[in-house]
Structure 1
């Protein structure tokens, strides 16, 4: 098994990687690949562990770490949020019990590194296929605090803000749950829910840490140190176009900009404590990044550090990350300690590695699960500002449990393409445009030229002088499956001519309604259970298709077709916002005949109104005149 370049590891590759690791390891996974972050690192077989407890001197601990680095070792592991209390004299009185471990780093030889851009390992690696671990069971999910106490603490935070003690407090609590089964299976399940840039999976004895963080804390390469705080979020749209519109709105939103600038100023000051004079610059501001379920605003700050930067200076200046405290940092950390009902632990601390050449990279562990002998916790929180509404903040915390409760659907992208004799694939570029848009939206790998070549070779090998329906399936890794079957020539591949029509097929209105908010209606995927079920029913009953209505009672589409009505030579089709697939034939007709084909919201009564002809169509069947049969 060889991982592909420019793609994250597949689930099968992850299973193979984890199979023989034993109990002590650090796996730092890059599943959202970018030019400046394209490697995954695996540390195994530690020589020893370095631990810092709350009662220990953090500078002595960091000096021991430096000794190991000077000996040529790598260090990889985690720092708890509470490690930061020992770095600041004013906060030391707030430290947890003396024996609490606040940092743990394994001492390792050279890690195994995979470069996702080149598809190359730094040493020979043979991944042998293994059976995927059996799924485990999450149960007894609960919050560490009740709503009344939570809302009371939010009110207290707002009073501190009003008094001028703080501008923003990142207030957190914990999701507690029980888990039975393999920790590897849980990691594989949750990484499928959230492919991120700075994932991590750590093992030490029976304890596991599973982190699915999109946020970089800091990266140090040579003398350049970079931080990239995240602050400001928006929901995702239902398509790339809607994502772009929402990203622009987020980028320009005054409230989100103000919160982002507040944290940028804090981290710029932190970085300025260790950087050379005048070298700290904000290299990008208000960037918007796309993740599975949301859009996230980030900014990037860089500074040049002295040639021989002590770890104690690095951590004293930066730790913990200002994006998980609030501003001003020290006073806000005091408020956090007063109101939160227990140590955060690794959540909002740091996970990453230190290299013997002075390079380092750590994430901010959000969406991070700590699992130990069947008991698990995941920290959750939000930034509280002056106009935060306690009830809304509580509901947001409850929704964050969906990351655990609602597994992401496994699905493939589909295109169904007509191949015609002496013509080849009809509207192929339209099909590939749609596939590429959905691949971009869901984060699937797609190589367009490779697809062209594959389809051309497939046609050369398979097709004779008749029409074929070609089905293309593409998985998250960009792997393609092709199949085909003979099909009739389409009736109309353009607008029907005026005059008598052939006998009409039958269609029915479906009892079930769809929701125009359902993202999957806008993309052609294998996640279409209702549509598959009703299409099979229609076929068995001799109907061409079922026609759906949305939650507003508007007509949307068929299970396998788009819908058009014709009146006085003008064709009307529902707009995409009604909740329907951007069909290839639909796009073709709208673009080629803009004066005759128009979008319009339609009601069921419009379908059999006087003087109207109803059509259903797709790029394989063409445009087919139909009449409504008996409604269910």
Structure 2
């Protein structure tokens, strides 16, 4: 078995660990074999070896016979490779593209709805307060599992990702959730409960974050699991040491916001990894509460085993330190039958709705399709006679997009970069380009200002609509392909006018749209799918132009049409014949 981990350390810094050169492989296929295998794992780590692998959700019965699970798992309940050392390389780097995959739910939505109803009946009967109900998605997969893992890793940017590979099987985990970190004395766990899809535009994204933070339902679910984890940890903790240093923390990921909390304690002397697993496994965030009776409910309504999903993936060091994730956002690739399986789920309470939970589950699967491009943030600024045009608005937009994409940039850094240029070229005029890479490195380039444009310029309308759910239309970046493909449709015109699936006009590929209708200057609202241009914002705030939904029909009714941006100003446009 080949094992790779990119787990955050105690200081929050992710580190690569690649285990190769396996000494031996320990496997448990029955409940009776799980504890003896873990005893062997302990023995090897005491002898100076590393152990890396997983426990399936269905291994739970080895730690408590009251934990019911669905039978019929095709994978071993436990598998750990034993290694003498590890490297800090990334996994089998691959440039292979991931084919477009057709992920299909293994159950119909009507079955999902019936399961939610059954859970509510169990809540009413007092058998559960919250149940984590999950479903499988499947697709045919003939590609490179490492390429799919890299895509998932980039899309999720999570702190606890892992890749386990065998000759005929691979486990791809882009998990953001820490099950536990234990250094032999102190244990920390971070249950994750509460999810909302991120917005595409900055302001919309902030509202989504605020919605999750204020959600009574999600906070109730989260604290319920925190109480469960506190109880679980107390079984191996010194009296009075269990504490919750962080409650209802909102964490940002590329596709979703998650609500997490932190529970920690000092463990009793002579505690072993088996004691830890017996107290905590499986993690309460993926069962619900109370754990035993809720697992019985799950075993009766979920039609197939969860396997590695919702179990634990991690490693144990020779010094006894152990780190495991909760394998959510995790896919299993079977190379033999060319099938990939990905599971999603959510906590169901009395207040849950089938539609709401189904949408939350689908939001969690977006990591499978999200192919994040390589890009840098970009600002293009006019520098005229020693002054930057709309400087504050450009800096504000750049910093907002940096915050959105979690790129470390401070407003003062950008201001200092501009002041240096100003000092070096006082009184001059340039076209300025500022680039910011993913690490926050800023660079400034300058060139001659473009020549003034005289007369009306021709434009063509795009042949197909844009996808207004694509976040890159709302942030200025070097990912220009979303515009260039449209521009190439009519390469001889000055620019191309874009529109969305609803038939609403959005913007030109190099500037915002302004249209004169009935004596009013109008521009499409940001929600239609367009860049918040700095000149557009300035004119909107001043009241010079007003927002209005515009359609293709308005093009014929318009008395004048302009393309506007902060470098070229107002460029009058007319449709191509």
User: Which TM class, normalised by the smaller chain length?
Assistant: 0.7 to 0.9
Q: Is 1:519 equivalent to 2:494 in the alignment?
A: no
In structure 2, C-alpha distance between the alignment counterparts of 1:99 and 1:292, rounded to whole Å: 32
Alignment match, 2:401? 438
In 1: Cα distance, 2:26 partner to 2:230 partner = 30
Cα distance, 1:549–1:271 mapped onto 2, change above 3 Å: same
Distance 1:64 1:162, change over 3 A: same
What is the Cα deviation at residue 330 of structure 1?
Answer: 0.5
> Which residue among 532, 535, 542 is the counterpart of 1:585?
535
Q: Which piece of structure 1 moves more, 302-311 or 237-246?
A: 237-246
TM-fit CA distance, 1:238: 2.3
Distance change (3 Å), C-alpha of 1:456 and 1:48 = farther
CA displacement 1:353-410 (0-9 Å, x = unmatched): 1122232111100121222323332222222222444466556656665543x34142
Match of 1:369 in 2: 331
Contact 1:417 1:425 in 2 (8 A): no
Residues 1:618 and 2:565 are matched in the alignment: yes
| Structure 1 residue ranges without an equivalent (≥5) | 1-23, 114-124, 492-501
Shift of 1:345: 1.1
- Determine helix, strand or coil for the equivalent of 2:195: strand
User: What is the aligned length?
Assistant: 574
| CA distance in 2: counterparts of 1:583 and 1:105, whole angstroms | 54
Distance 1:278 1:582 in 2: 53
Q: Is the 8 A contact 1:82 1:343 kept in 2?
A: yes
Match of 2:512 in 1: 562
- Cα distance between partner residues in 2 of 1:287 and 1:394: 23
Q: Secondary structure at the match of 2:270?
A: coil
Q: Which moved more, 1:324-333 or 1:214-223?
A: 214-223
Q: Does 1:162 align with 2:124?
A: yes
Q: 1:136 Cα deviation (Å)?
A: 5.3
The answer (yes or no) to whether the contact 1:144–1:174 under 8 Å persists in 2 is: yes
Q: Which residue of 1 aligns with 2:177?
A: 215
Query: 1:29 is matched with which residue?
Result: 6
Structure-2 separation of matches of 1:589 and 1:266? 54
Q: CA deviation at 1:270?
A: 0.8
Find the aligned partners of 1:412 and 1:337 in 2 and give their Cα distance.
Answer: 45
| 3-state SS in 2 of match to 1:56 | helix
C-alpha change, 1:513 and 1:63, in structure 2 (3 Å) is closer
Structure 1's 153 and 414: CA in aligned 2 closer, same or farther, altered over 3 A? Answer: closer
Residue aligning to 1:203:
165
The one-character-per-residue Cα deviations of 1:156-195 (angstroms, maximum 9, x if unpaired) are 2222111111112112232233321322222223323322
Q: Does residue 108 in structure 1 map to residue 45 in structure 2?
A: no
Q: Distance in 2 between matches of 1:226 and 1:390?
A: 33
Q: Provide the secondary structure at the position in 1 that maps to 2:209.
A: helix
Distance 1:574 1:179 in 2: 41
Q: RMSD between aligned alpha carbons?
A: 4.1
Q: Work out which of the residue numbers 562, 574, 577 in structure 2 matches 1:629.
A: 574
Partner of residue 41, structure 1: 17
SS in 2 for 1:193: helix
Contact in 2 for aligned 1:232/1:260 (Cα 8 Å)? yes
Give unmatched runs, 5+ long, in structure 2: none
The answer to whether the 8 A contact 1:444-1:477 is kept is yes
The 8 Å contact of residues 70 and 299 in structure 2, kept in 1 or not, is answered as no
More moved, 445-454 vs 204-213: 445-454
Distance 2:125 2:363 in 1: 31
With over 3 angstroms needed to count, the CA separation of the structure-2 counterparts of 1:255 and 1:482, relative to structure 1, is same
